[in-house]
Structure formats: C-alpha cells, structure tokens
C-alpha cells in the first residue's frame, strides 16, 4: 500500500497509550504518520474474535469517497491481526456527545441531514451499512453547534446489495437499532433496515433516549415488534418523519427520497439559511 517500499507498520508510530475508542471487535488508537508528521487513527483487530474483521471494512471503503464517510489511508492485514489507518476525528462520537451536551433540534437536523447524505451515497453505490447508530457517527472537530461536520464510521458489518439482489439473510448490528424484520431473523432489504436504524438514531438525538429499550434482549424484540416509541413533547412534523422511518412494515417505511422531501427536513429555520434559500441535501 505505501509507496517507496516502506512497510506500512514502519510508516506509523502507534500510540498505545492514546486509546480513542473500543468497539466489540477492535480497539482504536491514535498513531503518528512519520512521513506526513500528522496524527491519524488506527483500528486494530485480532482475528481470533471471529468473522467480523477489517478486511471487509477496507474492501468496502477503498472504493468510495464522501465528505461524511470515513476513508482508509493505509491498511495491513496479517493472518492474526489487522490494522486500518484512517483520518483522526477529534470531536468524539455522538453517543458520548448526547450524554455530554444538550443538542438542539436545529443542530440535530444538521447532523441528520449530513447522515442522510452519507447513507444516500452508500445506497447509491449498493453499500448497506447495517450498523448505523450514535456510536458510529463521529464529529471531525470538537463539538461546536455552529460548525458541525459528521463522519459515518465502522463499515465492519457493511455488505453489498444491488437493487435486484435477493433479501439479506445475515443478521448483525445492535438490537436497539435493528428493524423488526432483522430482529425477527427474517430475510430483509438492507436499504430499508438502514432507514429504520437512521430513524432510531434521529429519535435518540432529539429525545435523548432509545425508542425501543429494555435491558432484557427478549423484551427488546417484543417492544420492537409491538410498541410505538414515546413521541410526547416532539414537534408534529418531526414525529411524522420518525413514524415514516420507524414504520414496522418495510414496504410502507420511508425511502431516502421521502426523508429528503419531509416537512421537517425541508423546514427552513430562521437561523438556518438566509431567507429565500431552498432545502437541499448535498
Ligand atoms: N477515525 C477515528 N478518529 C477518532 N475516533 C475514532 C475513529 N474511529 C473510531 N473512533 C472511536 O472508536 C469507537 C469504535 O470505533 P469503531 O470503528 O466503531 O469500532 P468497532 O467496529 O469495534 O465498533 C468509535 O465509536 C469512536 O468513538
Ligand atoms: Mg462501532
């Protein structure tokens, strides 16, 4: 991968004391690129933990490029351990940020529009993320409501599904963000499952709690199948969008175009744009 015949692992100094995050299958550390003299992030995964590994993530990410999607700068894969080097994101993930800050509806809308633009790009390239959640949305810079720039990360569970492909029949991801069809282990449309997860993510951003929650796994399944989230205190046009994304029937569930055309997305806040500006998602 690296030019000038330098081994990838010689190009970087991995800072094992600077742990940036830890998921179920890997640890993310800060690293120093000795050539560019910049700090980067590296995700390290030991293969003994099972099927989910960085090879899948690198294969998916190396063919795409989008301002709100993580990129891979280098990787190294040995039989026992994988390293994925990527830009260092300084702002923390949205799970941590929603605990730390009161995020306004206006800021939630900016975050969500950027997420829609990232997921629309993925789906256009037949990439299904399958793990969209607050923990996998990271800010490029320290939290500042006037300067929001999100990055969708963690494509370890992603897969390819072309528009006419058969339904998917592997069932990864967090149960809290899983659609009824996925949590019930029935073959599903990857795009429609991602939309459900985006609905859960948006709800969690604005309501500061998960819409379908229990600490007992079997109860989560029952709640996802049978209950509606608590929409009290949320604005009507936002509830309409959330209900569209969290429709238990995947055929009736909103698609990306319906999300983009929803009143909540298109509503122009006074502090959003200069007057006369029209709704756009880049
Ligand atoms: N490029 C990055 N820069 C800074 N922090 C990151 C970066 N990538 C991941 N993280 C942090 O590490 C956590 C776990 O990373 P992730 O790729 O989601 O690993 P896993 O696949 O194990 O869930 C994220 O939730 C985030 O807090
Ligand atoms: Mg993750």
pLDDT digits (tens, 9 = 90+) for 171-229: 999 999 999 999 999 999 999 999 999 999 999 999 999 999 999 999 999 999 999 99
Give yes or no for residue 281 having a pLDDT over 90: no
Average pLDDT, the chain: 92
Q: Which residues are catalytic?
A: 131
Give the pLDDT confidence of 39-78 residue by residue, as tens digits.
999 999 887 755 557 888 999 999 999 999 999 999 998 8
Atom index in ligand 1 nearest the CA of residue 156 equals 21
Ligand number nearest to the C-alpha of 135? 1
Query: How much is the pLDDT for 268?
Result: 78
Q: Distance from the CA of 148 to the center of ligand 1, in angstroms?
A: 18
The pLDDT confidence band at residue 4, using thresholds 50, 70 and 90, is low
54 vs 25: CA distance, rounded Å: 9
Q: Distance from the CA of 177 to the center of ligand 1, in angstroms?
A: 18
Query: How much is the pLDDT for 26?
Result: 84
Helix 236-245 and helix 190-207: axis angle, to 10°? 150
Ligand number nearest to the C-alpha of 142? 1
Residue among 119, 186, 110 nearest 153 (CA): 119
Query: How much is the pLDDT for 271?
Result: 55
Query: How much is the pLDDT for 275?
Result: 41
Query: How much is the pLDDT for 277?
Result: 42
Query: How much is the pLDDT for 274?
Result: 44
CB 229 within 8 A of CB 238: no
DSSP string, 24-84: SS-EEEEEEETTT--EEEEEEEEGGG-S--HHHHHHHHTT---TTB----EEEE-SSEEEE
Q: Distance from the CA of 136 to the center of ligand 2, in angstroms?
A: 5
Q: Distance from the CA of 280 to the center of ligand 2, in angstroms?
A: 29
Residue 188 bridge partners (DSSP) = 168
Give yes or no for residue 273 having a pLDDT over 50: no
Per CATH, the number for 94-272 is: 1.10.510.10
If one compares 77 and 105, the residue with the highest pLDDT of the two is 105
Query: How much is the pLDDT for 265?
Result: 98
Residue spans of the domains in the chain: they are: 8-86, 94-272
Q: Of 18, 21, 32, which is best to mutate to test ligand 1, by the most ligand atoms within 8 angstroms of its C-beta?
A: 21
Query: How much is the pLDDT for 3?
Result: 47
CATH match for 8-86 among 3.30.930.10, 3.40.50.300, 3.30.200.20, 3.30.980.20: 3.30.200.20
Residue among 36, 46, 142, 30 nearest 88 (CA): 30
> Residues with Cβ within 5 Å of ion ligand 2?
23, 136, 154
Q: List the residue whose alpha carbon is closest to atom 4 of ligand 1.
A: 89
Query: How much is the pLDDT for 61?
Result: 96
Give yes or no for residue 166 having a pLDDT over 50: yes
248 vs 138: CA distance, rounded Å: 28
Domains 8-86 and 94-272 share a fold: no
């Amino acid at each position: 991968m690296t030019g000038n015949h330098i081994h990838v692992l010689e190009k970087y100094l991995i800072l094992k004391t600077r742990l940036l995050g830890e998921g179920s299958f890997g640890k993310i550390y800060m690293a120093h690129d000795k050539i560019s003299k910049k700090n980067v992030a590296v995700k390290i995964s030991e293969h003994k933990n099972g099927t989910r590994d960085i090879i899948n993530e690198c294969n998916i990410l190396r063919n795409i490029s989008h301002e709100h999607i993580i990129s891979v700068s280098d990787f190294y894969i040995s039989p026992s351990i994988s390293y994925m080097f990527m830009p260092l994101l300084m702002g923390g993930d949205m799970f941590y940020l929603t605990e730390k800050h009161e995020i306004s509806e206006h800021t939630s809308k900016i975050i969500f529009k950027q997420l829609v633009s990232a997921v629309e790009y993925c789906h256009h390239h037949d990439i299904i993320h399958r793990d969209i959640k607050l923990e996998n949305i990271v800010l490029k810079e320290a939290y500042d409501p006037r300067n929001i720039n999100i990055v969708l990360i963690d494509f370890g569970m992603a897969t390819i599904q072309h528009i006419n492909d058969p339904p998917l029949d592997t069932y990864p991801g967090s149960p809290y963000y899983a659609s009824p069809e996925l949590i019930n282990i029935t073959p599903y449309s990857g795009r429609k499952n991602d939309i459900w997860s985006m609905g859960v993510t948006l709800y969690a951003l604005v309501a500061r709690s998960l819409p379908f929650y229990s600490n007992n796994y079997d109860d989560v399944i029952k709640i996802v199948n049978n209950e509606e989230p608590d929409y009290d205190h949320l604005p009507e046009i936002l509830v309409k969008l959330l209900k569209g994304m969290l429709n238990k029937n995947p055929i009736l569930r909103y698609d990306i175009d319906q999300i983009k055309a929803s009143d909540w997305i298109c509503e122009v806040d006074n502090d959003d744009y200069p007057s006369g500006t029209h709704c756009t998602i880049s």
